Amino acid sequence: MKRIVLFGDSIMAGYHDGMISSDFTNRIKDDFPSNKVLNLSVPGYKTSDAVTVTKKVTNLKPDVCVVMLGANDVSTFEEVKPGKFASNLTYILNEVGCDKAILVSPPYTDWHKNLRRPWTRQIQFELVTEHLSKQLDVQYVDLLHAMAAVDNVDELLQRDGLHFSSTGYDLLEKLLVPKIQECLTGHDTLVSN
């Protein structure tokens, strides 16, 4: 049995209607029933918070770790500079193991409802994650552009314009499952050689 760890903020934690829900974690469990799925995501986390608990993730010895942070880093409230965001993510990915990590870009946020999360910063932080994925040779999901490409992007979000609706989680699951499978298969291939 392999371990899949989900590590992020409230979106990865499954925040729905003001509460944490296990719905998204259960979806991943259903997609990978012969594996153990653990969700260590914490609402409100920025990468600077995640850095302080990365050892909890590595102590679990994950075979795959999905890292999805940035929705809070993008905010101009207690602003995080893109360079610090990159530095924090680099630390997390190196500690987890780049060969075991799947990096997910910050998600699309309705900047009309969330004035502190302007589109320009969303793009800027996505570029940081994309660059890091190439630099560190990490599996990558460009969630921001996948969401922005949906005809009615509002259907992906709850009323707050930040957290995901069931349709938003459908998209995230669709993007993540092949990456997780690829990561698990890659490990099997390495072991069998």
Encode the chain (193 residues) as per-residue pLDDT tens digits: 999 999 999 999 999 888 999 999 999 999 999 999 999 999 999 999 999 999 999 999 999 999 999 999 999 998 999 999 999 999 999 999 999 999 999 999 999 999 999 999 999 999 999 999 999 999 999 999 999 999 999 999 999 999 999 999 999 999 999 999 999 998 554 443 3
Distance CA 91, CA 93 (A): 6
Residue 143 resides in a domain: yes
Count of domains forming the chain: 1
Give the range of the structural domain holding residue 28, as residue numbers without chain letter: 3-188
Residue 39 resides in a domain: yes
Residue 166 resides in a domain: yes
Residue with tokens 């996505």: 126
Radius of gyration over alpha carbons of the chain, in Å?
16
CATH number at residue 139: 3.40.50.1110
| pTM attached to this predicted model | 0.94
Residue 8 resides in a domain: yes
Residue 12 resides in a domain: yes
- β-strand pairing of 3-8 with 64-68: parallel
Residue 17 resides in a domain: yes
How many angstroms separate the Cα of 130 from the Cα of each of 6, 140, 141, 146?
19, 7, 8, 13
Contact 126, 87 (CB under 8 A): no
Distance CA 73, CA 8 (A): 12
Residue 109 resides in a domain: yes
Residue 47 resides in a domain: yes
Distance CA 50, CA 70 (A): 11
